[in-house]
């Protein structure tokens, strides 16, 4: 199957091999240490398609808009996310997401669409604003926090409220944070290849999921007994019906909620953290955003869905942070049938991956690609529209993430509140990416110094932080 439109015929060749590596391990050590550096090295040496060995498997790497398009256009019979992401099955559960057929997974996504309607998003905006305001109200008049830790904690609260409901948020958020940590501990390089090894981290993962089913089953039973209806994702799944009219089991409801939380919570936390890092490092872009906050909130008086929609400068800042620091640095599929791109063929049994972290920094798409410049996304420039699939943080084609609008709603609300309530300064202005985690946030320490504002003029007291205005952002 040739997805790049090549009709020249002739013998097909394997992609060029990245030199080096060890027997069996291949490039596992440099890959674990800094996968983006390895993938960028391969592209620089070999072009937009190459291969390397990883723990006995051949990995085919495709980078750039055309290669990304081929990856996303391939059918499920050719490139399979289901087989590539089997390490998620112990967390999400049997028959859920990557343990379901492509048709069943599509049906599961369809069941969630009512929870992402504009009416619901308007409701969530209120919940999110309430959570952020309540969270920062606990802060003292001045002090410091770890930025990523704070964003992780806050987005757990938001996910608890919007996805699982007010009962869960009110009574169980602290326990959920511990359970979620144990579930996350089950995602690592070993899990990718051997998700059922008898390791302590995998045992904790399995116990945490059983406890999550207990908790959510209790909430479902309580709501049904009381006849109470809420505005959250849990209620949507309680009311959902399969095509045959049957309802979802409590195990399936839990699995789908966990799928949503894993797809969105940590990525939103990381996106929020990088947004703050880049904004506070670049005062020339921060000051217009502070003015936008003043004028928007003067018109709306509350942080509503409509108000968030008008914060276009803040949204561009988030987009640019996402371009430079995509939370997922690579997306994978297993090759089920020979997959062709250009003059090369990738045989069945290999793994194929694309890399947002590499593709987002191509100078032919984004001039001066290492420079932080939210103006790239302005109507006058629109660099991300030069080529289809230039930005792939949220996937692409039929595999695009359905939660993108919800994610942006969260991050915009968080930074709208923080910028209006506090003067902010980065203590650690140049954090490196932390490749020890599956979702790549800034490596600790990533500390933020804050001081509660006493003036309504947001830009009168711009934190001295930001006098560091170096234009480039490290990958």
Report the CATH number at residue 149. Answer: 1.10.630.10
Domain contains 293: yes
Q: How confident is the model at residue 100 (pLDDT cuts 50, 70, 90)?
A: confident
Check whether 463 has a pLDDT greater than 50: no
What is the reported pLDDT for 457? 57
For the entire predicted model, the pTM comes to 0.87
What is the number of other CB atoms lying within 10 angstroms of the CB of residue 438? 17
The tally of domains found in the chain comes to 1
Domain contains 269: yes
What is the reported pLDDT for 5? 37
Q: DSSP for 118-134?
A: HHHHHHHHHHHHHHHHH
Q: How confident is the model at residue 66 (pLDDT cuts 50, 70, 90)?
A: very high
Domain contains 140: yes
Helix or strand or coil: residue 177?
Answer: helix
pLDDT in tens, 154-183: 998 898 888 888 878 877 667 877 888 888
Nearest to 285 by CA among 313, 261, 246: 313
Check whether 465 has a pLDDT greater than 90: no
> Could you give the CA distance from residue 62 to residue 49 in angstroms, rounded to a whole number?
5
What is the reported pLDDT for 462? 44
Domain contains 474: no
> Could you give the CA distance from residue 239 to residue 229 in angstroms, rounded to a whole number?
10
Domain contains 290: yes
pLDDT in tens, 366-416: 999 999 999 999 999 999 998 999 999 887 766 667 778 889 999 999 999
Check whether 268 has a pLDDT greater than 70: yes
Q: Which domain does 44 fall in, by range?
A: 28-467
Tell me what the pLDDT averaged over the chain comes to: 88
What is the reported pLDDT for 304? 94
What is the number of other CB atoms lying within 10 angstroms of the CB of residue 360? 23
What is the reported pLDDT for 122? 92
Domain contains 77: yes
What is the reported pLDDT for 82? 85
> Could you give the CA distance from residue 34 to residue 38 in angstroms, rounded to a whole number?
7
Per-residue pLDDT averaged across 178-199, rounded?
83
Q: How confident is the model at residue 441 (pLDDT cuts 50, 70, 90)?
A: very high
Percent of the chain that is helix, strand, coil (3-state, to 5): 55, 10, 35
Residue percentage of the chain with pLDDT more than 70 = 92
> Could you give the CA distance from residue 69 to residue 62 in angstroms, rounded to a whole number?
10
Lowest mean pLDDT across 81-85, 123-127, 200-204, 207-211: 81-85
Per-residue pLDDT averaged across 254-271, rounded?
86
pLDDT in tens, 300-315: 989 999 999 999 999 9
Alpha-carbon torsion angle 224, 228, 232, 234, nearest 10: -10
Domain contains 256: yes
Per-residue pLDDT averaged across 186-201, rounded?
84
CB-facing half-sphere around the CA of 351: CA atoms within 13 A: 20
Q: How confident is the model at residue 31 (pLDDT cuts 50, 70, 90)?
A: very high
What is the number of other CB atoms lying within 10 angstroms of the CB of residue 148? 26
Check whether 3 has a pLDDT greater than 50: no
Check whether 17 has a pLDDT greater than 60: yes
Domain contains 8: no
Q: Note whether 340 and 347 are within 8 A (CB).
A: no
Q: Which residues pair with 62 in a beta bridge?
A: 49, 354
């Amino acid at each position: 199957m040739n997805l790049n439109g090549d009709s020249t015929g002739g013998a097909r060749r394997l992609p060029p091999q990245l030199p080096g590596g060890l027997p069996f391990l291949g490039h596992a050590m440099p890959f674990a240490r800094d996968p983006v550096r390895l993938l960028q090295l391969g592209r620089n040496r070999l072009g937009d398609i190459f291969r390397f060995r990883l723990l006995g498997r051949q990995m085919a790497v495709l980078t750039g808009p055309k290669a990304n398009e081929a990856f996303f256009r391939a059918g499920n019979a050719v490139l399979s996310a289901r087989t590539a992401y089997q390490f998620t099955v112990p967390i999400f559960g049997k028959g859920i997401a990557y343990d379901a057929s492509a048709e069943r997974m599509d049906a599961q996504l369809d069941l969630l669409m009512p929870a992402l309607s504009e009416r619901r998003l308007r409701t969530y905006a209120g919940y999110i604003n309430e959570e952020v305001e309540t969270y920062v109200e606990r802060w003292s008049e001045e002090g410091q926090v770890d930025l990523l830790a704070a964003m992780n904690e806050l987005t757990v609260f938001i996910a608890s409220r919007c996805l699982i409901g007010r009962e869960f948020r009110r009574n169980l958020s602290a326990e959920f944070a511990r359970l979620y940590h144990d579930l996350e501990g089950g995602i690592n390089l070993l899990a990718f290849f051997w998700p059922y090894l008898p390791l302590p981290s995998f045992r904790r993962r399995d116990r945490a999921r059983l406890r999550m089913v207990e908790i959510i089953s209790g909430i479902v039973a309580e709501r049904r007994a009381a006849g109470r209806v809420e505005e959250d994702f849990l209620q949507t799944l309680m009311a959902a019906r399969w095509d045959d009219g049957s309802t979802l089991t409590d195990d399936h409801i839990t699995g789908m909620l966990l799928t949503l939380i894993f797809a969105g919570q940590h990525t939103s936390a990381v996106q929020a953290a990088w947004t703050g890092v880049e904004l506070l490092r670049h005062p020339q872009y921060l000051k217009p955003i502070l003015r936008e906050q003043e004028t928007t909130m003067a018109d709306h008086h509350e942080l509503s869905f409509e108000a968030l929609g008008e914060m276009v400068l803040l949204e561009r800042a988030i987009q640019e942070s996402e371009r430079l620091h995509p939370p997922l640095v690579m997306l994978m599929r297993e090759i089920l049938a020979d997959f062709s791109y250009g003059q090369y063929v990738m045989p069945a049994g290999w793994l194929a991956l694309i890399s947002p972290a590499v593709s987002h920094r191509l100078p032919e798409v984004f001039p001066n690609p290492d420079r932080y410049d939210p103006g790239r996304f302005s109507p006058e420039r629109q660099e991300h529209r030069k080529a289809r699939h230039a930005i792939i943080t949220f996937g692409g084609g039929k595999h695009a993430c359905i939660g993108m609008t919800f994610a942006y709603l969260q991050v915009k609300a968080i930074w709208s509140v923080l910028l209006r309530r506090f003067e902010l300064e980065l203590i650690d202005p140049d954090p490196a990416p932390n490749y020890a985690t599956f979702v790549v946030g800034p490596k600790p320490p990533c500390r933020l110094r804050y001081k509660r504002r006493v003036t309504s003029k947001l830009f009168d007291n711009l934190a001295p932080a930001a006098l560091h205005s170096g234009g480039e952002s490290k990958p």
